[in-house]
């Protein structure tokens, strides 16, 4: 009997995945990947399952799959951060905050591929792993530590770069370390690698991640064209913030099977209707592009599109441009512009995605009006906005920051995090805030809790935002995990179907308001699709 092909194994995996047979699906995804390394669908499906995987004790089979996925190009490695952390925590029994790493343990960690990959290819988002690795970092600073521990020091230095040096630190111990290779690597666990150390071949990968990439980002930012002036005072303040901390910090570009987005959205939200045919490539506008993770994902994974990635911050766009060049994504254009000034260009787009942007404008309504003006009739728009209920703990954090006067520089961010983790700012923040992914890197934390402008919504405010505009609400979007798999069984959908069983479209905002009023927890935020009429 002939062995199945990668395509056959992938089809089998998807069927098992859909029916909830995750063990079978994982095995089939792995078979497809082994038969066809780089199979984007199989890799993405594997990550979607591994992201949710937890076991009572250390599971070598699961650890090996996590290693394979973390090492693969095109994987959404950030999605694996917590699952990998869990395996490491149970393996090394990291739950005791007083546990100090022995030399034997440090020697074992040097050989632990899962640990090294987790530190280098994700941002650590589990406070228990963070606390333990801080103790490992500090133990490595002992003067008599052997140079055989260099790989562990390098991995921790990569993690420090990934999280933008946001971990609590007292760098005095590292300041007296020698300037040899091992000493430089240990110094880099606290601050960027010194430029003179970049010439050390043993530190080449770390230099590429820090000094060389930062220089390349600055060079790329200088090449970003300016489409419009940025005259709005709030826009100027937001630009200054993202110039100081380009956002978001991301490490890998996720690759998926190509999707015809207009066809997919019509099938999901408009059964029985037909969207007008647009010329290809579809012209896509991505306002609030930041460092390019979302626009690059659209450019790489949507069929026949050309993307204009627009942002206020050249520093953020420079990161995106460099990543596009590194990833070989050529159907994307990075430009500096203000959303409010886009109509003055006399241009139009057939598709717009603006995720997490309008709520940072002085007038989100003015921003939406501008986007509506440049979207052609029949075009689709995807928006995502903060939810009032879902950000209760963030509001509490923002109040604590205003009351205590934490600075939004590196020292202030570290002090704030330390006070959250210690419980100094109250039990709610201590328990809840560290579970927010953005708590675990400097630029993400600054955006989460220190932002200069924020508006939050509930459905009545959402209705007011959309009122009178030539936009048809198509429906909400709920996803599972960082791999953004559509969740057709989301609790909000189930609640709507139970209350309004005859309404299959689920596009009535008045009815959604009733659902939200009954259970606000169903809406951590709002992501939804609109049609320009």
pLDDT digits (tens, 9 = 90+) for 180-214: 999 999 999 999 998 889 899 999 999 999 998 98
Q: In this predicted structure, what is the pLDDT of residue 232?
A: 84
* Two tokens, residue 511: 């009815």
Handedness of CA 197, 198, 203, 208 (dihedral sign): positive
List, in sequence order, every beta strand (DSSP E) within 221-341.
282-287, 305-311, 332-336
Q: Residue 77 in contact with residue 251, Cβ under 8 Å?
A: yes
Q: How many angstroms from the chain centroid is the CA of residue 137?
A: 26
Q: SS3 for 473?
A: strand
184 or 174: whose pLDDT is higher? 184
Is-above-0.75 flag for pTM? yes
Sorted by sequence, the CB contacts under 8 Å of residue 103 that are 6+ apart come out as none
Residue range 210-259, pLDDT digits in tens = 998 989 999 999 999 999 999 889 899 999 999 988 988 888 898 888 99
Answer yes or no: is pLDDT of 300 > 80.
yes
Is the omega angle on the peptide bond into residue 249 within 30 degrees of 0, that is, cis? no
For residues 340 and 456, give the distance between their C-alpha atoms in angstroms, rounded to a whole number.
Answer: 20
Ranges for all domains in the chain classified under CATH 3.40.50.150: 233-388+456-532
Strand partners, 332: 307
pLDDT at 245: 85
For residue 281, cis peptide bond before it (omega within 30 degrees of 0): yes
Place of tokens 């951590």: 524
What's the pLDDT at 485?
62
Burial letters 257-272, b for 16+ CB under 10 A, else e: eeeebbeebbeebbee
The H or E element that residue 331 is part of is: none
Of 108, 210, 198, give the one whose Cα is nearest residue 157: 210
Instruction: Give yes or no for residue 173 having a pLDDT over 80.
Output: no
Per residue, the 3-state secondary structure of 167-193, as one string, reads: CCCCCHHHHCCCCCHHHHHHHCCCCCC
* Percent of the chain whose pLDDT exceeds 90: 87
- Helix or strand run (H / E) with residue 353: strand 349-355
Nearest to 77 by CA among 234, 242, 254, 224: 254
Distances (CA, A) of 222 to 27, 39, 230, 303: 47, 36, 17, 30
Q: From the options 3.40.50.150, 2.40.30.10, 1.20.80.30, 3.50.50.60, give the CATH code of 233-388+456-532.
A: 3.40.50.150
What proportions of the chain, in percent to the nearest 5, are helix, strand and coil? 55, 10, 35
Report residue 281's pLDDT band, with 50, 70 and 90 as the boundaries. very high
| Model pLDDT for residues 3-33, shown as the tens digit of each residue | 899 999 999 999 999 899 999 999 999 999 9
Lay out the sheet containing 349-355: strands in order across. 332-336, 305-311, 282-287, 349-355, 375-386, 525-532, 471-476
- For residue range 507-533, what is the model confidence (pLDDT) as tens digits? 999 999 999 999 999 999 999 999 999
289 CB neighbour count, 10 Å cutoff: 31
Mean pLDDT of the chain: 94
């Amino acid at each position: 009997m002939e062995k199945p092909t990668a395509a056959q194994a992938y089809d089998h995996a998807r069927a098992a995945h859909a029916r909830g047979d995750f063990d079978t699906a994982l095995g089939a995804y792995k078979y497809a990947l082994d038969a066809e390394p780089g199979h984007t669908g199989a890799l993405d499906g594997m990550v979607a399952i591994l992201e949710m995987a937890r076991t009572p004790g250390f599971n070598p089979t699961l650890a090996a799959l996590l290693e394979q996925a973390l090492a693969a190009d095109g994987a959404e490695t950030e999605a694996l951060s917590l699952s990998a952390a869990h395996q490491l925590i149970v393996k090394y029994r990291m739950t005791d905050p007083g546990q100090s790493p022995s030399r034997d343990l440090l020697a074992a960690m040097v050989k632990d591929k899962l640990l090294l990959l987790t530190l280098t290819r994700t941002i650590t988002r589990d406070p228990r792993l963070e606390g333990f690795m801080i103790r490992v970092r500090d133990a490595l600073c002992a003067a008599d530590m052997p140079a055989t521990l260099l790989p562990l020091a390098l991995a921790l230095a990569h993690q420090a770069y990934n999280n933008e040096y946001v971990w609590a630190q007292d760098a005095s111990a590292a300041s007296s370390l020698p300037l040899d290779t091992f000493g430089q690597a240990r110094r880099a666990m606290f601050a960027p690698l010194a430029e003179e150390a970049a010439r050390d071949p043993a530190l080449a990968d770390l230099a590429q991640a820090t000094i060389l990439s930062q220089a390349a980002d600055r060079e790329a930012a200088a090449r970003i064209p300016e489409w419009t002036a940025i005259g709005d005072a709030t826009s100027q303040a937001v630009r200054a913030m993202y110039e100081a901390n380009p956002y978001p910090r991301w490490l890998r570009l996720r690759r998926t099977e190509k999707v015809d987005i207009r066809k997919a959205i019509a099938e999901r939200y408009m059964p029985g209707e037909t969207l007008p045919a647009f010329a290809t490539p579809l012209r896509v506008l991505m306002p609030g592009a930041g460092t390019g993770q979302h626009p690059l994902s659209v450019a790489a994974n949507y069929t026949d599109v050309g993307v204009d990635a627009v942002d206020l911050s050249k520093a953020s766009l420079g990161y995106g441009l460099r990543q596009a060049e590194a990833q070989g994504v050529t159907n994307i254009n990075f430009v500096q512009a203000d959303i409010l000034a886009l109509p003055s260009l006399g241009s139009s787009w057939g598709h717009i995605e603006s995720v997490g942007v309008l709520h940072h404008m002085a007038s989100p309504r003015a921003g939406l009006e501008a986007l509506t003006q440049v979207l052609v009739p029949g075009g689709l728009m995807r928006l995502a906005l903060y939810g009032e209920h879902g950000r209760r703990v963030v509001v509490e954090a923002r109040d604590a920051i205003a009351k205590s006067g934490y600075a939004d520089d590196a020292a202030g961010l570290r002090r704030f995090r330390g006070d959250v983790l210690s419980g100094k700012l109250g039990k709610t923040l201590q328990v809840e805030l560290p579970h927010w992914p953005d708590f675990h890197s400097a630029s993400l934390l600054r955006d989460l809790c220190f932002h200069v402008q924020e508006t939050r919504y509930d459905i009545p405010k959402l209705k007011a935002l959309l009122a009178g505009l030539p936009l048809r609400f198509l429906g909400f979007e709920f996803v599972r995990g960082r791999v953004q798999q559509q969740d057709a069984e989301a609790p909000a959908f189930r609640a709507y179907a139970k209350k309004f069983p005859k309404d299959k479209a689920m596009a009535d905002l008045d009815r959604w308001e009733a659902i939200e009023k009954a259970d606000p927890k169903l809406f951590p935020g709002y992501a939804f699709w609109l049609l320009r009429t």
